[in-house]
Amino acid sequence: MFLKSTIWSLILSFALILVAAVGVVAFRWKVNSDQVLAYKEQRDFDRLTHVNTLASAVREYMTEYNGKQPGLISNEPKYICRSDLFDNCEDLVDLRPLLSSFIIAIPSDPTAEVGPNTHYLIEIEDGKVVVSAPEAETEEILATR
């Protein structure tokens, strides 16, 4: 009888330990997934700030210079160059005329690698400046001015 109750005690103890371990793993997974989401949301907040800054600066420039664009912006989306740091802006929109008077630096996507591409797109659509962040992680991000 003593042996039987000892075996049941061991089985019950093992089951409780197993349930506790599963709970700890589930809690850590939940905390980690919440942190990942928070990081994504922070990066998207930065992207939203950047595209608003860029769109406003381009619109201000165009207003001050009677509709003249600060770079070759077309009605097709093209990536913006980090012309404040790089001279080679081939196949990218060069917004160098904005520097100092309208914007301090050309912002780039938080996940962009070092290089001239900001990973932000710009276009003129129906006479409005549209800047977007195609690498947004939680929602579509664009600014229209």
pLDDT per position as a tens digit, 28-78: 665 566 787 889 999 999 999 999 999 999 999 999 999 999 988 999 999
Comparing 31 with 125, the larger pLDDT belongs to 125
pLDDT band at 18 (very low <50, low <70, confident <90, very high): low
Mean pLDDT of 130-134: 97
Q: Which long-range contacts (CB under 8 A, 24 or more apart) does 96-101 make?
A: 96/70, 96/71, 97/61, 97/70, 97/71, 98/57, 98/58, 98/61, 98/70, 101/61
Q: pTM, whole model, 2 decimals?
A: 0.77
Residue 41: predicted pLDDT: 92
Task: Say yes or no to pLDDT of 16 above 70.
Answer: no
- Contact between 80 and 118 under an 8 Å Cβ cutoff? The reply is yes
Write the CA distances from 101 to 14, 45, 64, 105, 144, integer angstroms. Answer: 70, 25, 11, 11, 21
Residue 91 CA from chain centroid, whole number: 22
pLDDT given at position 37: 81
At 118, the pLDDT band (50, 70, 90 cuts) reads very high
90-104 pLDDT, tens digit each? 999 999 999 989 999
User: pLDDT: is 53 or 8 the higher one?
Assistant: 53
Report the pLDDT value the prediction gives residue 106, as an integer from 0 to 100: 95
